[in-house]
Amino acid sequence: MHIYGTLGPACAAADILEQMLCAGMTGVRLNLSHVTLTQAEPQLAALREAAERCGKPVELLIDMQGPELRVGVLDAPLPLAAGARVPLDALALPPQVRAVLTPGQALLLDDGKLLLTVKDADTAEVLRGGTLQSRKSVALPGCEVSLPPLTESDRLNLAAARTFGVTGVMQPFVRSAEDLRAVRAAMDAAGGEDIRLFAKIENQQGLEQLPALIDAADEIVIARGDLGNAMPLWELPGAQKRIAAQCREKGRPFMVVTQMLSSMEISPVPTRAEVSDIFNAVLDGAASVMVTGETAVGRYPVEVIRYLINTVHAAQAYLTAQNS
């Protein structure tokens, strides 16, 4: 089973990455919504050094920008107090988002941590507050925004993928098999025919097109952050179960990701619910599990991987005992 962490400032040093790899991490994700492959070269050099020290290969997955909506660069973190009215201009929303906003439209920011509702052409009211940081995700429940599957930055990163040792490309917000064919064509044109293509299921379109996506991708990613914004949160576990079942039926590997050990961004131990979540993902047949902010910016990246690995191993032992 593949165990992935996410590269970031919390695990940028070679010695920390070495501990994570030696603990059992098999690969890392690099989020290209914030950097390019070239800009991430210091982190990638540290990863290569760590892999050499540990004496094991490591997979490198790049998570593309794709048709994903994010706020722009803010002058400073923006506090948003519940009940306050905020100018839409202050949120640095993409022009494609501003063009479709109408009164009553919900705005989910930072994987749904922040919730606003549009009041008029210029303002929104904060319903669920917090602090907005630059480049955080934007979701518009019930509203579709048309964007191409690849940005210019994505194309440049794909052209450099082989040079940087990329083994997998994660395409976000996949809407159709045509999205995946466009990404695959760009990968092949850059000499990346042997690089695996991961389809992230993050919206209703992806759910509706899942059978075609399973055929067009090398692995399906159940990306629960934005998928949980696309439906009432209590319906998300059922959606995860249905995706897993369809992947098993077609023999397509799948990954489970998002908030698997979220509490460990600030705590040295996880919650019981989190380890149960990982355990059940293995029982459902996941080929891969991944943590994101837990290792990218959390306080305990090495401990995160140890808990992830040990829980996966416990689930695998349980399955072996059940089948013997």
Active site residues: 29, 70, 200, 258
Q: Which residues of 9-89 form beta strands (DSSP E)?
A: 27-31, 59-63, 78-80, 85-87
Q: Which residues of 120-249 form beta strands (DSSP E)?
A: 123-128, 130-132, 138-139, 168-171, 196-201, 219-223
According to DSSP, the residues that pair with 257 across neighbouring strands are: 223, 290
Check residue 272 and give left, alpha or beta (phi > 0: left; psi -120 to 50: alpha): alpha
C-alpha–C-alpha distance, residues 285 and 283, integer Å: 5
- The values of phi and psi at residue 171, to 5°, are -100, 120
DSSP class of 142: T
Residue 5: burial class (beta carbons within 10 Å; 0-12, 13-18, 19+):
buried
Question: Distances in Å between the alpha carbon of 256 and those of 76, 185, 267?
Answer: 33, 26, 22
Residue appearing with tokens 């439209």: 105
Total residues belonging to the chain: 324
Strands 27-31 and 2-6: parallel
37, two tokens: 């492959």
